[in-house]
Amino acid sequence: MELPAIPNRIETITAFKQNSGMIAAVLPIHYPRSLFRAFDVLPVEVWGPPGTDVSHGGAHLQPYVCSIVHNALSFLKKGGLDLADFIAVPHTCDSLQGFGSILLDFVKPKQSIFPLYLPRGNRPEDLRFLTEEFRQLYRHLSGLTGKKPSEEILLRCIRREEKADDLLRQLYEKRQKVSLSNYSFYHLVRTREYLPAETFISIAEKVLSRKGFDNPKGTAIILSGIVPEPMEVLTTITELGAAVVADDLACCGRRLYASGKSEQPFRRMAERILNAPPDPTRGNSLEERKQYLLRLADQTDARGVVFYDVKFCEPELFDLPRLRAKLKAAGLPSVQIEIDLNDPLSNQIVTRIGAFLEILG
């Protein structure tokens, strides 16, 4: 079943700016969408993008820096972020923190840069730290835009994002009943990277109102890692006879943020991020990740995990051998695949996925 018409990034940015809105280019992974929206700034995420001419970034960065950062620098230097008014760089990993520093100290683009520091834990002091970090971002945005959105506006924006995320969660829960292919499902999920929440809500409600009952066919698998690029891999998985029934992807399932509890807006935004599914970039333990993946497999009858990672992703790859060993010991087999955002889907990757599916039988 096809998706309703969905505007692409450029169309979305253009339309938003025509209505006097501003754009923040945001690097992965976690940040408070609602805070930007309270200032009439649309956050548009930059996961590379794939297929960028990396010669601009390659001249400045070490070869072992991941392709998300390589591409982002190249994209910026060749004008790809010219439509953005701000650039936000969460401290997701050393490479992205380094990217933020490079922008501030050397590249000095025309846009204001917001580094965003994230705590590595979920203790009370982590919540206090992140709450204060968001207050700081508020002051920064206020200084640049001249706006001072009230707590009421902030809470309204938070609730709108919470509604969008709740619909996203429903899509995940009902994915087997909304008759979307692997590719279409993730195409829709990934529009959260740039669509305003209200637009996403309208599209998600249309899809959820459908009454399709074509259960995904084939071997049920979980897709883990950072970003499913090239997206063609999802079609290939279908062709190889498998269905992605759940994911632990940084750009998708790890951002199934639950609603916050606090009525204090900055604290509520922080609660939402700190209570998200386990993520190595937020310091979750191996045991938490293992339990989460086993629970996902149990809930969805998934028979294996494909770890689909970007090469040189330090937080993702460091613990992977131990995580895979723990899952294997618990009866959940996995395969590890590494990609570069600029490479087409190779025969070797297809063979690895195919061989893994043959193991699963």
Footprint on this chain of another protein (rule: CB under 8 A)? 321, 328, 333, 338, 346-348, 351-352, 354-355, 358-359
Alpha helices in 108-231 (DSSP H): 124-145, 151-173, 182-189, 197-208
Within 10 Å of residue 230's Cβ, how many Cβ atoms? 18
Q: Shortest distance, CB of residue 148 to another protein, whole angstroms?
A: 52
Q: At what angle do helices 182-189 and 197-208 cross, to 10 degrees?
A: 150
For another protein, give the closer residue by CB, 63 or 124: 63
Nearer to another protein, 205 or 358 (CB): 358
Closer CB to another protein, 274 or 327, in the complex:
327
For residue 342, the minimal CB distance to another protein (Å) is 12
Task: Select 162 or 316, whichever has its Cβ closest to another protein.
Answer: 316
Name the residue nearer to another protein (CB basis): 79 or 361.
361
Question: In the complex, what is the shortest distance from the CB of residue 304 to another protein, in angstroms, rounded to a whole number?
Answer: 11
Smallest Cα–Cα separation from 189: which of 209, 211, 173? Answer: 173
| Sign of the CA dihedral with 255 first, then 354, 360, and 284 last | negative
User: Which are the contacts of 217, defined by CB distance < 8 A and separation ≥ 6?
Assistant: 241, 243
Instruction: Write down the least CB distance from residue 219 to another protein, Å.
Output: 14
Q: Which of 227, 235, 253, 248 is nearest to 183 (CA)?
A: 235
Measured from the CB of residue 352, what is the shortest distance to another protein in angstroms? Answer: 6
> What minimum distance in Å lies between the beta carbon of 245 and another protein?
22
Output 173 or 338, the one with its CB closest to another protein.
338
Nearer to another protein, 86 or 307 (CB): 307
Angle at 46 between CA 93 and CA 12, to 5 degrees: 155
Q: How far is the CB of 218 from another protein (least distance, A)?
A: 16
Pick the closer one to another protein by CB: 53 or 338: 338
Q: How far is the CB of 179 from another protein (least distance, A)?
A: 28
Instruction: Decide if 180 contacts 188 (C-beta within 8 A).
Output: yes
In terms of C-beta density within 10 A (0-12 exposed, 13-18 middle, 19 or more buried), how is residue 286 classed? Answer: middle
Q: Is 82 helix (H, G, I), strand (E, B) or coil?
A: coil
Contacts with 298 (C-beta within 8 Å, 6 or more apart), sequence order: none
Angle between helices 232-239 and 347-360 (to 10 degrees): 40
The CA-CA-CA angle for residues 335, 353, 279, to 5°, reads 45
